[in-house]
């Protein structure tokens, strides 16, 4: 699947320095690190390290109704 632009997201229940994120970093880039306010969040956004996807911006957002935070990511895709 490396040739396809794919984004893996979710709440993995641990910081980006945990065991699962360390395994993901073997083939993916963690987009959380783009911005300090999203770096330590439990929500993770991973992009393949094939160079087809480039993170433009990352923003922490808060949903008052669900009382939870998330990440809005802007990504540039090169085919």
Tens-of-pLDDT digits for all 79 residues of the chain?
566 778 888 877 777 778 888 888 888 888 877 767 777 777 888 888 888 888 888 888 888 998 888 888 888 988 7
Cβ atoms within 10 Å, residue 45: 25
pTM: 0.73
Q: Is the dihedral of CA 35, 32, 27, 14 positive or negative?
A: positive
Per-domain residue ranges of the chain: 8-77
């Amino acid at each position: 699947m490396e040739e396809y632009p794919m984004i893996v997201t979710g709440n993995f229940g641990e910081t980006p320095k945990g065991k699962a994120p360390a395994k993901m970093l073997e083939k993916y880039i963690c987009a959380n690190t783009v911005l300090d306010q999203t770096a330590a969040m439990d929500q993770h956004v991973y992009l393949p390290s094939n160079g087809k996807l480039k993170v433009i911006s990352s923003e922490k957002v808060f949903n008052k109704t669900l009382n939870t935070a998330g990440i809005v990511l802007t990504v540039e895709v090169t085919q």
